[in-house]
Amino acid sequence: MGNGNYTPLFNLDSFDRKPRFTNGFFQRDVLSVDQFSKDDLDYIFARADEMQAMSRKWGTCDLLKGYTLACVFYEPSTRTSSSFIAAMERLGGKVIPITEGIQYSSVSKGESLIDSMITLEQYCDVIVLRHPEIGSSSTAAKYVKVPIINAGDGAGEHPTQALLDLYTIKSELGAIDGLRISMAGDLRYGRTVHSLTKLLTKYDVSLRYVSPDTLRLPLELMNTLIDKKMDVREFSRVEEVIENTDVLYVTRIQKERFTDLAQYDEVKGYFNIDAELMQKAKEKMIVMHPLPRVGEIAYAIDKDPRAAYFRQVQNGLYIRMALLAAVLGQA
């Protein structure tokens, strides 16, 4: 004791944290779908296919052993938070979950987003962040060195949801080009719609938007589609588009985005995707939903093989496994 002759606890040369792959994703923030090229999408989708095969055969692996994810959610989440946690753990990594208990963190004491992110950076290798303010993930990324993955910034974007949505379309229908895709619901505030729309501009598709007048797609985004000479039209009822639709992407009317609840009461219950409506749909088409649903799709539709929304949920696991491995240089 005290003579300084200690046996080392660790063989620090046995663990190499160097990236295994130099594919442009290592240490890269995932903030917006705008940063993805078609080649990037193809790469992530191919890696997601591998993650799916591995999960079905082995369940887990050690690809991210030694890495830690901080999962930080300032807004409620079921699928996004749990799938990121499951993704990291299936790949052998560890998770610091700050999700449902955000009110018990130092945020409740008035700590700023930036200070919280810089603090968590000391403990982890990647941060997944959901925050109610548009641009919050981009702001955080300016102050921390570890990759930030945007898990939803208010009514802004939800890039990983858009990736899994596009992956689902390709997996279910075999291709994306040539499809007619109809989006119905809250198009004004729906960040999943905004992100998916941006990704779809990279493909040869026809876009149909269905909503009450107060929830139409933001004008800036519609103008982008027009400038890109996309085949795009707007409708007020799903009945007007269902017969020729290959993908029906439904979203809920988001009560939490309304500052005037009287306006919400005017549009709640506006959509009802039921068996009678689905009789008019193609035999080969799919119904998608980012979930949660609040009555816009009848439970009876769950048994319809065209109902893809729970397969869509599962695809979220594989896409997020691929993204985590990629930004940490292991895929």
Catalytic residue among 130, 188, 191, 198: 130
Beta strands at 206-210 and 180-184: parallel, antiparallel or unpaired = parallel
Q: What backbone phi and psi angles, to 5 degrees, belong to 249?
A: -105, 110
Of 310, 328, 251, 331, nearest to 93 by C-alpha is 328
> Taken in order 160, 161, 164, 170, is the CA torsion positive or negative?
negative
CB 180 within 8 A of CB 245: yes
Q: How many residues does the chain have?
A: 331
Of the residues 18, 56, 109, 229, which is catalytic? 109
Question: Which position among 80, 99, 168, 197 bears the catalytic label?
Answer: 80
Q: Is 99 a catalytic residue?
A: no
Give me the catalytic one of 47, 90, 131, 158.
158
Instruction: Tell me 127's DSSP state.
Output: E
Active site residue 109: yes
Q: Which residues pair with 297 in a beta bridge?
A: 273
Give dist(CA 292, CA 219) in Å, integer.
26
- Tell the burial category of 213 from Cβ atoms under 10 Å away from its Cβ (0-12, 13-18, 19+): exposed
Distance CA 254, CA 258 (A): 7
DSSP state of 256: G
> Distance between CA 164 and CA 196 in Å, rounded?
9
Q: Count how many Cα atoms sit within 13 Å of the Cα of residue 233 in the half-sphere of its side chain.
A: 10
Candidate list 28, 68, 79, 180, residue with the active-site label: 79
Q: Is 130 a catalytic residue?
A: yes
Active site residue 79: yes
- Any catalytic annotation for residue 293? no
Catalytic residue IDs: 79-80, 109, 130, 158
